[in-house]
Structure 1
Amino acid sequence: MSDYHKALVLELIQQPSELEWLEFKRNFHSSEEIGERISALANSACLLEKKYGYLVFGIVDGTHDIVGTSFTPKQHKAKGNEDLEHWLVTRLSPKIHFTIHEFQINGKNIALFEIPAATTTPVSFLHEAYIRIGSLTKPLKHHPELARKLWQSSAEDWSAEICHEATVADLDPAAISRARKVFADKNKRLADEVKEWNDITFLNKAKITISGQITHTAIILLGLPESSHFISPAQARITWILRGVDNFEKDYQHFEPPFLLAVDDVYQKIRNLNYRYLPFGTLFPEEIQQYDPYIIREALSNAIGHQDYRLGGGITVVEKEDSTLVFQNLGEFLPKTIENVLLRDAPEPKYRNPFLVNAMVNLNLMDTIGSGIKKMYQIQRNRYFPLPDYELSPDKVLVKFTGKVLDQDYAKQLAQVHDLSLHDLIALDKVQKEKLISDEEANELRKKGLIEGRKPNYIVAANIARHTEQQAEYMLLKGLNEEYYENAVLDLLKQFGQASRSDFDKFLAKKLPDVLSDEQKFHKVKNLLQKMKKRNLIYFEDKVWRLVNN
């Protein structure tokens, strides 16, 4: 085999430079550095569909000259006088069977680490996964798009994986007791049987464990706080943060498993102040909580159920004193758009953590038909509060709830418009929040006379604004009629005799619609002047405009 590995090294040094799956080193630096390199090379080899990654000692990086090394890994001792190879193996997760080969090329000592590519999970060292970016080794958590690709290389459900060293003793007895009660309440026909089941039988029946083996799901929902290490380098943590109106952090708290109990603790931490407003059709104020309890439960459960725990980050709940509540979890939004969820009449066909989601349904933490998001929209609509704001990116999902009425009259009148579908309501909500809408959404709203203006600066149409106290705002957005602008131009020229183009830009800037960009305002003035010139009202000479009749 030494001849094979000699030939392999001679082939590797023909590469023009170090690669994501190949690293050269002249000599030993530290045991920790080797552990990080093994993690990074295994993960990068997986991404590049290489069977192995290689770490070669005795080669100069850059020139690839064979200079030899004094490092003998098979005899080297790590901390505690432990053999280096064993020290590395016990600190890598999952354990991978890398091999070390020591031989000579041209009388020079070479040490070759042959590292198998990661398979079902990213390889971590001391609970941290690494990746190669060019010739540099970086923490994988700083590159979520690469982490996602690594996990997607496995078709298995991470939440159903077994923690082989964990037992029922690593689960919280109070959480198991709560789970029994909730399961029995949800399945009343089994209530008497549940009392007779031992813990293993119950956990299997509730589909939290598999044949008595502890799953990642069991650790997340029912595990003792100290049991989280069984799912490392994945992380199970919820962080609540309170921020002032200036966006500065005023308070925070972390919540560990068991999440079945933590959801109540997070709910109690959210202040959810009372809010007074006038319901439609009455002069008597009503006092309600800013955030409907269902919304908090559903948003938090969605974050737990759909979090990509493999990316190594936690779930955050940010409460702001400007009456907003924000939930964020890691991982791509699999339905792609929120409209796909709201307008589909069937449950979501694909889940990131199907075993976890199914267990949460059994414990009444999630709805069974996937209608939770739609119900959150309906709750906000019925309160006349702004609809939920979803911000979707390739590696995270953020949803924001506003716990107050921004424009009560507008919201009430909008709800009375005939034939206003949920799809229309969502699109109009985007227009009000000055967000982009699709051409299809714009066409539908325009057909129903709900918006005016040009892409991308749409505004709520006059017939909607007319029902509310938004007439003044509508005029600012739509702008005044052409006759007004023409008279303004004529008045300026009558008073001063002449004016340059820049004079008109400054004079008309504040009178033009607010939704227009500076470039659009420029062209608006240009077109106005040209129209007046064609009508023989004004003329252009010596770089200034003048009245025709002067």
Structure 2
Amino acid sequence: MTEYIKNLVQQLVNEPNEQEWLEFKENYHSAEEIGERISALANGACLCNKRNGYLIFGVKDSDQSIVGTNFDPKKQKAKGNEDLEFWLSSRLNPRIDFKIYDVDIEGKKVIVFEIPATSHTPVAFLHEAYIRLGSYTKKLKDYPEKAKKIWQSMSTDWSAEICQDATIEDLDPIAIAKARQLFIKKNPRLVEEVPNWDDVTFLNKARLTIKGKITNTAIVLLGLPESAHFINPAVAQMTWILKSADGIEKDYEHFYTPFLLAVDEIYHKIRNLKYRYLMSGTLFPEEVDQYDPYIIREALSNAIAHQDYRLGGRITIVEKEDSTLTFQNYGSFLPVSIDNVILSDSPEQKYRNTFLVNAMMQLNLIDTIGSGIRRMFLKQREKFFPMPDYDLENNKVQVKITGKVLNVDYARKLAELPDLSLSNIIALDQVQKNLPIQDIDASELRKKGLIEGRKPNYCISADVAEQTDLQAEYLDMRGLDDQHYQALILEYLKKFGQAKRAELEKLLVDKLPQVLDNDKKINRIRNLMQKMRVNGLIKTEGKTWKIAKK
């Protein structure tokens, strides 16, 4: 092995320069730096179709000459006095089996980190994935196309892998029976044939097994609870948590395989209370479920279908008493953008768990990822509830469903606009939540008279506010004219004779629009004061401001 590593180093130093999968360093700097490099090189090796990436100590990066190093990874300690190798390994996600070699080349010590290319998900260090661009290490999230290529380069479909020692006896017979019912519902033309199939034939036809062999998909959907060990170290667990409006946990329950049956158990666990509209009218039903049954099942099934089971996390369903329901699964969102899925209404062509997704479609558990998510938005629109909120950060997918109308009058006004498209509603929903929108959406909403204000601080238009009794809220969001704030400054200076800038900022900061953050409020006040000075209304004497004498 020593000769192999020596020859390898000689080959690598003859590369034209450092690359996405190769980096040279002279000496150790910090454990964090190595962790970031391991992440970047594992991801870079994947993109470059290399089996491994390499981090080599004892080589100058300028001319790639072997100079030796005093770095000893076996003796080096990380934070908390932990052994360096263990410290690094425990902070990589997913954990990868990198190896460290110590070789002597012409009397010079060289340390080689051999880092396997990732094959199913970007490798992150301390919850951040990295990539190399030339000789620089960058955050992968800033390069979404590279992240997407890593996902699309998956060499194997985990959900299609065979559990070598598992048999049909490791599957739950009740779950198999339920699967038959769902399969017939999805394929009514086979209603006469399915009852005549034995279990092996049915499982093959339903794409749960492969030639009678038990797959990871079969264990996740149909496996007995005690059969989960077949997919170790992957985790198949879902947890329902009930929290108060202020986030205090009040109840919880864990659910295990078979997930096919757990979906129903979780559905009945959720306290889907009735929502009563405050005002009756032709546009509003008197009473509806807080959460549409379709939305619950689709969101939960999507979490099961697209969970990255190899990351070791569980699917969570958090129900809060503030009328919100949040589903979370591990793994990045492969279509990258929710807008791409909803507005184009086109399903993604690449799935993390292709075999599992196809099986769930055969059992009528999910629509394609495009049509299912779009339908969730349409269901919320029918009730005039807020649109689903998606958070795609930190290698997780989180969707929050709100089960109430935020403002009945405003919802009624939206319902009266017959030409409002789903795209319009999604953009206006973002405005209501003080979130940024695209320029093209802002232009369209402005033309319809629905918003006003300057980018990025859009707010509900005065016309809509007037017709929905939201005048006070409108003023809070948009603010008053500059003349009003100037009058307040002049009144203050007239009363007290003078003031420092901080005193005038304190006077106005709480009176400015809510859509502005504190820094923007301060900037607006300072610009206003400079404008008043230029116009001869106020003047400065040292660090104090006074009314200008005319």
Question: In structure 2, what is the equivalent of residue 436 of structure 1?
Answer: 436
Amino acid at match of 1:540: K
Question: In structure 2, what is the equivalent of residue 528 of structure 1?
Answer: 528
Q: 1:541 to 1:414 in 2, by over 3 A?
A: same
Question: In structure 1, what is the equivalent of residue 125 of structure 2?
Answer: none
Question: In structure 2, what is the equivalent of residue 518 of structure 1?
Answer: 518
Query: Shift of residue 461 of structure 1?
Result: 1.2
CA contact (8 A) 2:445 2:451 kept: yes
Distance across 2 between alignment mates of 1:172 and 1:541: 82
Q: 1:260 to 1:453 in 2, by over 3 A?
A: same
DSSP-derived class of the 1:466 partner: helix
Q: 1:192 to 1:410 in 2, by over 3 A?
A: same
Aligned alpha-carbon RMSD (Å): 4.8
1:266 maps onto 2:266 in alignment: yes
Query: Shift of residue 534 of structure 1?
Result: 4.7
Question: In structure 1, what is the equivalent of residue 318 of structure 2?
Answer: 318
Question: In structure 1, what is the equivalent of residue 133 of structure 2?
Answer: none
DSSP-derived class of the 1:406 partner: coil
1:456 maps onto 2:459 in alignment: no
DSSP-derived class of the 2:467 partner: coil
CA contact (8 A) 2:120 2:155 kept: no
DSSP-derived class of the 1:239 partner: strand
Question: In structure 2, what is the equivalent of residue 546 of structure 1?
Answer: 547
Q: 1:10 to 1:406 in 2, by over 3 A?
A: closer
Question: In structure 2, what is the equivalent of residue 389 of structure 1?
Answer: 389
Distance across 1 between alignment mates of 2:115 and 2:398: 37
Q: 1:167 to 1:43 in 2, by over 3 A?
A: farther
User: Which range moves more in the overlay, 385-394 or 365-374?
Assistant: 365-374
Query: Shift of residue 309 of structure 1?
Result: 1.5
Question: In structure 2, what is the equivalent of residue 161 of structure 1?
Answer: 161
Distance across 2 between alignment mates of 1:118 and 1:484: 62
Distance across 2 between alignment mates of 1:10 and 1:541: 69
CA contact (8 A) 1:170 1:223 kept: yes
DSSP-derived class of the 1:288 partner: strand
DSSP-derived class of the 1:302 partner: helix
Amino acid at match of 1:270: I
Q: 1:158 to 1:279 in 2, by over 3 A?
A: farther
Once the two structures are superposed, residues 83-104 of structure 1 have per-residue CA deviations (whole angstroms, 9 ceiling, x without a partner) of: xxxxxxxxxxxxx9x99x9xx9
Query: Shift of residue 468 of structure 1?
Result: 1.1
1:374 maps onto 2:359 in alignment: no
Q: How does 1:398-413 map to 2 (within 5 A)?
A: 398-413=398-413
Distance across 1 between alignment mates of 2:491 and 2:528: 15
CA contact (8 A) 2:42 2:115 kept: no
Once the two structures are superposed, residues 449-474 of structure 1 have per-residue CA deviations (whole angstroms, 9 ceiling, x without a partner) of: 32222222221111121121211011
Amino acid at match of 2:428: L
Question: In structure 2, what is the equivalent of residue 199 of structure 1?
Answer: 199
CA contact (8 A) 2:342 2:370 kept: no
CA contact (8 A) 1:306 1:353 kept: yes
Query: Shift of residue 517 of structure 1?
Result: 3.0
DSSP-derived class of the 1:252 partner: strand
Q: Please, which runs of 5 or more residues in structure 1 have no aligned partner?
A: 15-19, 23-39, 55-60, 68-95, 106-112, 123-132, 134-142
Q: 1:505 to 1:360 in 2, by over 3 A?
A: same
Distance across 2 between alignment mates of 1:45 and 1:474: 50
Amino acid at match of 1:337: S
Q: 1:422 to 1:114 in 2, by over 3 A?
A: closer
Query: Shift of residue 339 of structure 1?
Result: 1.0
Q: 1:279 to 1:177 in 2, by over 3 A?
A: farther
Amino acid at match of 1:303: A
DSSP-derived class of the 1:390 partner: strand
Question: In structure 2, what is the equivalent of residue 246 of structure 1?
Answer: 246
Distance across 1 between alignment mates of 2:156 and 2:51: 20
Query: Shift of residue 121 of structure 1?
Result: 7.2
Q: 1:340 to 1:52 in 2, by over 3 A?
A: closer
Distance across 2 between alignment mates of 1:223 and 1:147: 33
Distance across 2 between alignment mates of 1:10 and 1:535: 72
User: Which range moves more in the overlay, 320-329 or 488-497?
Assistant: 488-497
Distance across 2 between alignment mates of 1:6 and 1:508: 68
User: Which range moves more in the overlay, 374-383 or 504-513?
Assistant: 504-513
CA contact (8 A) 2:270 2:319 kept: yes
CA contact (8 A) 2:345 2:374 kept: no
Distance across 1 between alignment mates of 2:244 and 2:289: 19
Q: 1:374 to 1:52 in 2, by over 3 A?
A: closer
User: Which range moves more in the overlay, 342-351 or 470-479?
Assistant: 342-351
Once the two structures are superposed, residues 205-226 of structure 1 have per-residue CA deviations (whole angstroms, 9 ceiling, x without a partner) of: 1111111121111111111112
CA contact (8 A) 2:52 2:116 kept: yes
Question: In structure 1, what is the equivalent of residue 302 of structure 2?
Answer: 302
Distance across 2 between alignment mates of 1:190 and 1:10: 61
Once the two structures are superposed, residues 273-330 of structure 1 have per-residue CA deviations (whole angstroms, 9 ceiling, x without a partner) of: 2222246516998233221111100100111111111222111111111111100011
Count of aligned residue pairs for this structure pair: 481
Question: In structure 2, what is the equivalent of residue 475 of structure 1?
Answer: 475
DSSP-derived class of the 2:528 partner: helix
Query: Shift of residue 152 of structure 1?
Result: 6.1
Question: In structure 2, what is the equivalent of residue 329 of structure 1?
Answer: 329
CA contact (8 A) 1:222 1:257 kept: yes
Amino acid at match of 1:322: D
Q: 1:510 to 1:226 in 2, by over 3 A?
A: same
Q: How does 1:176-191 map to 2 (within 5 A)?
A: 176-191=176-191
Once the two structures are superposed, residues 466-495 of structure 1 have per-residue CA deviations (whole angstroms, 9 ceiling, x without a partner) of: 121211011122112233233333333443
Q: 1:150 to 1:349 in 2, by over 3 A?
A: closer
Distance across 2 between alignment mates of 1:6 and 1:484: 76
CA contact (8 A) 2:240 2:316 kept: yes
Distance across 1 between alignment mates of 2:249 and 2:377: 28
Question: In structure 1, what is the equivalent of residue 223 of structure 2?
Answer: 223
Question: In structure 2, what is the equivalent of residue 509 of structure 1?
Answer: 509
Q: 1:209 to 1:513 in 2, by over 3 A?
A: same
CA contact (8 A) 2:283 2:415 kept: no
Query: Shift of residue 402 of structure 1?
Result: 1.1
Distance across 2 between alignment mates of 1:338 and 1:463: 30
CA contact (8 A) 1:222 1:260 kept: yes
TM-score, structure 2 length as denominator?
0.74
CA contact (8 A) 2:499 2:545 kept: yes
CA contact (8 A) 2:280 2:286 kept: no
Amino acid at match of 1:545: K
Query: Shift of residue 157 of structure 1?
Result: 2.1
Amino acid at match of 1:164: Q
Distance across 1 between alignment mates of 2:44 and 2:474: 58
Distance across 2 between alignment mates of 1:417 and 1:204: 50
Once the two structures are superposed, residues 47-74 of structure 1 have per-residue CA deviations (whole angstroms, 9 ceiling, x without a partner) of: 69775799xxxxxx97589x9xxxxxxx
Q: Indicate the percent of aligned positions where both proteins have the same amino acid.
A: 55
Q: How does 1:348-359 map to 2 (within 5 A)?
A: 348-359=348-359
CA contact (8 A) 1:43 1:150 kept: no
Query: Shift of residue 228 of structure 1?
Result: 1.6
Question: In structure 2, what is the equivalent of residue 25 of structure 1?
Answer: none
Q: Please, which runs of 5 or more residues in structure 2 have no aligned partner?
A: 14-20, 24-38, 55-67, 75-96, 106-111, 122-129, 131-139
Distance across 1 between alignment mates of 2:43 and 2:546: 67
DSSP-derived class of the 2:406 partner: coil
Query: Shift of residue 118 of structure 1?
Result: 7.3
Q: 1:362 to 1:439 in 2, by over 3 A?
A: same
Distance across 2 between alignment mates of 1:532 and 1:64: 63
CA contact (8 A) 1:498 1:547 kept: no
User: Which range moves more in the overlay, 307-316 or 480-489?
Assistant: 480-489
Q: How does 1:56-135 map to 2 (within 5 A)?
A: 63=70
CA contact (8 A) 2:307 2:330 kept: yes
Question: In structure 2, what is the equivalent of residue 74 of structure 1?
Answer: none
Distance across 2 between alignment mates of 1:21 and 1:167: 44
